[in-house]
Amino acid sequence: MVGFLFAGQGSQYVGMGKDLYENFPQSRAIFDKAQGLLDFDLKKICFEGSEDQLKVTRVSQPAIVTVTIAAFEAFKSKNKITPAYMAGLSLGEYSALIASGALDFEDGICLIKRRGELMDAAAKKYPGKMAAVLELEVDMLEDICTESGAEIANLNCPGQVVISGSGIAINKAIPLCNEAGAKRVIPLEVSGAFHSSLMSEASAGLKEALDKTPINENFVPVVSNYTALPQDKPDQIRENLVKQVCSSVKWEDSMRFILSKGVTQFYEFGPGKVLKGLMRKINPAVQVTNIEKSADIP
């Protein structure tokens, strides 16, 4: 059995998608549709912009989803594989919902554009930080979060948990993690405290946008970051996406659920190889093939 995975924020790089755009009419059509719906020059920024331009949340979110779906459409033009499950890391959940048929691409891009704007605004109003904590027991980290005021943002894989919160909270949590025996604590280059309560206003704004967005009965089950379980009803999808913005991403649990159903092979769509790396720590026996350039299309 096969599963499809979709890249999250932070995997962007200058030049992403250019090769697909030049070699696949299906990918070109995706870029052209997105370009017409956004208020910035998507193709110019993706193909020849600066890293700083691509880091901006309101730019990087629609850019990553566009590149991801461009890769997916190129793959689909040459392969007739139907996955048992789909999942995407945080932002990637939107790509998964588009690929599954739950969201139309145009509606999805408009929704992601709004999500990026809301998260940017929340990050400016409530500044925060994030840090990756390596090789520290989750129970111990939960106690540190209670003491410091930080929150667990991502449960990515064994030995890798991301914390989020105000600058004061993260600055207090980092030495506590080191004292508790963490192998390493890495501050992340992000513009805000994503997947924490500091994103509550973004969550409320996203609910308004989601209430107006048509969601279809998706063709392939998409595993929710919020519940780590499949979601297939429009109202359920809306509710999970609203909660996802300010709640922990249960990626390891999501992968373990899919693996428990007999999936042994994955394709990862979009820029970077982050999800392949996480799977290597969750179950190194599982094969993950990256699809992000024309040379990757089997």
The answer to whether residue 195 is catalytic is yes
State the Cα torsion 263-275-256-148 to the nearest 10°. Answer: -170
For 254, list phi and psi in degrees, rounded to 5.
Answer: -60, -45
The residue assigned the tokens 């956004």 is 38
Q: Among residues 11, 27, 60, 90, which one is catalytic? A: 90
Give the whole-angstrom CA distance, residue 9 versus residue 60.
7
The answer to whether residue 191 is catalytic is no
Give the whole-angstrom CA distance, residue 132 versus residue 184.
8
What is the SS3 assignment for 159? Answer: coil
**Beta bridge partners of residue 88, listed in sequence order:** 6
DSSP conformation class of 249 = B
Q: Among residues 60, 148, 195, 196, which one is catalytic? A: 195
For 18, list phi and psi in degrees, rounded to 5.
Answer: -60, -45
Give the whole-angstrom CA distance, residue 112 versus residue 65.
8
Kindly give, in sequence order, each residue whose CB lies less than 8 Å from that of residue 226, ignoring residues fewer than 6 positions away: 240, 243, 244, 247, 249, 250
Give the whole-angstrom CA distance, residue 173 versus residue 114.
31
Strand segments, DSSP code E, in 167-215 are: 184-187
Which residues are identified as catalytic? 90, 195
